[in-house]
Amino acid sequence: MFALQFAVLSATGGIQVEEKKMKNDAVVIVSVVILIGLFSMQHFGTDKVSWLFAPIVFVWFILIGVLGAVNISKYDQSVLKAFNPIYVYRYFKRGKTSWASLGGIMLSITGTEALFADLSYFPVQAIQIAFTVVVFPCLLLQYTGQAAYIAQNKDHVSHAFYFSLPDSVLWPSFIVATAAAIVASQATISMTYSIIKQALALGCFPRVRIIHTSKKYLGQIYSPDINWILLVFCIAVTAGFKNQSQIANAYGTAVIMVMLVTTFLMIPIMLLVWRSHWTLVILFTVLSLFVEIPYFTAVVRKIDQGGWVPLVFAVAFLIIMYVWHYGTLKRYEFEMHSKVSMAWILGLGPSLGLVRVPGVGLVYTELASGVPHIFSHFITNLPAIHSTLVFVCVKYLPVYTVPLDERFLVKRIGPKNFHMFRCVARYGYKDIHKKDDDFEQMLFDSLMLFVRLESMMEEYTDSDEYSTRETNLSGSANPRINGISAGSNMDLSYTSHDSIIQVQSPNYTGNSQAVSPGQLYHTVGDEIAFLNACRDAGVVHILGNTVIRARRDSGFIKKIAINYLYAFLRKICRENSAIFNVPHESLLNVGQVFYV
């Protein structure tokens, strides 16, 4: 966030060099307009405009490299002595003033952290070559050239880059600088999307919408929620500070904190993941801290001059991420402990101890195996359930798209007269699961095809056992093409003895049924006709909504975190119905409250 503001303000600050009467407020307004335009274009994706990035950045680096070389030869060639390490010692020999200046020097290395975000967009070798051959040499020339210019023009320290430009190239350079700032800001925005996506994968951030904008690169993403939140923060900080030096202090504080945290996190990675020798770990830590601690101590002095802002943001996001992770973890533990065994479900008999009413119930679950706890909660408190049940699990795979003929994996749960199925719907990251994409129609076509293929398979076996069969469904009726598996990797196999056991629900003792789910079909046509009749009776999408609350004997902080903050985050984040794109007119939300 601070990188965006600093880059844009630095570029637009050149206006004041030419228009000296222009006030700082006008520069802030121009910067805000650029930020709004930049964030408004994010939904197009970087692959739509990335063809502009390379020429802009290349022209920018050539410009600053040539300008730096010209300034060195024109003003003061003695600045090249700065590459002699002895001058580092002489510089710090001056005492506290030299040490305090490290806070400003820190800004010369900011932005390097964005290189890691580029790994999702470019190969490692491309980044290494570009940085070594183009970026680093041109930056050295520019900084050295600015030093040569300032040595002869000590009153032009502010905006030295623009002051050193010839009048004939000032405005073209301003345009290139602004375009380069936009490109640099784009890298930072993309890095933010990547970090949020990783936090989502770890369960450390509330659910937000993630859109993949590229067919070729999985890492090129866009989050509209994060995009507009980031824009609001950027405008607020830009308009609030109105001072480039304060934003620079905030930026420097954020970067050095990131470097320190990265160094300390590298220690367990080197020990536990890379299995590096302890001497190498100590050497890495000592060398890193030798560089970072002086910068950190210099930046700390400027916390009251704008450096407090990133600390406030860091603490706020840390609290949000910790509370969300804690609440999600507790909810997951409850769901796993409350998960119903398949043996208990099948032990209830074909009617599940309930009235099986006409219709189809699509029970959504994140579990690819087993029965979600919300289903047991449902049948325990209600005396009826649909005559056909399908446990639907929607999975997004790390591939561009999943062909329609490979989208659904279907298997039967228990004997045929239970009329229970499991369906895994698989989507690629560019597949959009819409409400109007005939999801129900495709799912039922898959069920019908499964029933037909299952019947074909039974013709080739004499086994009396009921087995869970899995098929990779497509439009072809060839069993080999559709990849039918007579077994199941879930190791669920039930004998005909299971269908004899009848256990009634605790809340219902009747045995009247609107349909007869316990009957066995002699032909595949009978079962297909039964499924069609159930569908005509109506389809209901059943979603679980587990609500957690803090126990009465919990501490004050825990009650605030769970009952208010976590509840608020769950309220504003994307609902499961939005994730699964369930039509609201046929949605049944089953809620359950538990205390932690």
**pLDDT, mean of residues 315-338:** 88
C-alpha–C-alpha distance, residues 3 and 196, integer Å: 17
- pLDDT, one tens digit per residue, over 108-118 is 777 666 666 55
Taking alpha carbons only, the member of 1, 397, 538, 442 closest to residue 227 is 1
Choose the CATH number for 2-242 among 3.30.470.30, 1.20.1740.10, 3.20.20.30, 3.30.420.40: 1.20.1740.10
C-alpha–C-alpha distance, residues 184 and 118, integer Å: 11
Taking alpha carbons only, the member of 546, 554, 539 closest to residue 589 is 546
Quote the tokens at residue 248.
Answer: 């620079």
- pLDDT, one tens digit per residue, over 263-310 is 999 999 999 989 999 999 999 999 999 988 988 888 888 888 888 888
- pLDDT, one tens digit per residue, over 449-494 is 898 888 888 766 644 444 444 444 444 444 333 333 333 333 333 3
**pLDDT, mean of residues 392-412:** 84
pLDDT of residue 29: 83
**pLDDT, mean of residues 357-376:** 81
Q: Are 374 and 338 in contact (CB under 8 A)?
A: no
Share of the chain above pLDDT 90, in %: 15
Q: What are phi and psi of 301, to 5 degrees?
A: -65, -15
C-alpha–C-alpha distance, residues 230 and 4, integer Å: 10
pLDDT band at 498 (very low <50, low <70, confident <90, very high): very low
User: What is the average pLDDT value for the chain, to the nearest integer?
Assistant: 78
151 pLDDT higher than 80: yes
What is the residue extent of each domain of the chain? Answer: 2-242, 340-537
CB neighbours (10 Å) of residue 173?
A: 19
Q: Are 216 and 122 in contact (CB under 8 A)?
A: no
C-alpha–C-alpha distance, residues 40 and 222, integer Å: 12
Quote the tokens at residue 241.
Answer: 């500070």
pLDDT of residue 566: 92
What DSSP state is assigned to residue 390?
A: E
44 pLDDT higher than 80: no
**pLDDT, mean of residues 195-220:** 81
**pLDDT, mean of residues 397-417:** 84
What DSSP state is assigned to residue 371?
A: B
Rg over alpha carbons for the chain, rounded to the nearest Å, is 32
Taking alpha carbons only, the member of 395, 390, 538, 399 closest to residue 450 is 390
Q: Are 194 and 221 in contact (CB under 8 A)?
A: yes
Q: Give strand ranges (E) for 117-220.
A: 211-212
Alpha-helical (H) ranges within 75-158 are: 86-92, 96-100, 102-105, 124-130, 136-152
pLDDT of residue 282: 95
CB neighbours (10 Å) of residue 536?
A: 11
C-alpha–C-alpha distance, residues 580 and 590, integer Å: 15
pLDDT of residue 69: 93
Q: How far is CA 66 from CA 18, 41, 148, in A?
A: 21, 32, 14
**pLDDT, mean of residues 208-227:** 81
> Which residue has better confidence, 210 or 145?
145
Taking alpha carbons only, the member of 69, 81, 188, 60 closest to residue 134 is 60
408-412/466-467 β-pairing: unpaired
37 pLDDT higher than 50: yes
* ∠ Cα 359 506 517 (to 5°): 30
| pTM assigned to the model | 0.73
pLDDT band at 14 (very low <50, low <70, confident <90, very high): low
Maximum Cα interatomic distance, the chain, rounded to a whole number of Å:
99
| Helix (H), strand (E) at residue 488 | none
39 pLDDT higher than 80: yes
pLDDT of residue 499: 31
| Cα dihedral 35, 40, 42, 46 in deg (nearest 10) | -80
Burial class (CB in 10 A: 0-12, 13-18, 19+), 226: buried
**pLDDT, mean of residues 385-410:** 85
98 pLDDT higher than 70: yes
384-396/420-427 β-pairing: parallel
Number of helices and strands (H, E) in the chain?
22, 11
pLDDT of residue 59: 92
pLDDT of residue 511: 37
Q: Is 434 helix (H, G, I), strand (E, B) or coil?
A: coil
**pLDDT, mean of residues 11-25:** 67
Least confident interval from 186-200, 207-221, 248-262, 418-432: 207-221
C-alpha–C-alpha distance, residues 469 and 452, integer Å: 12
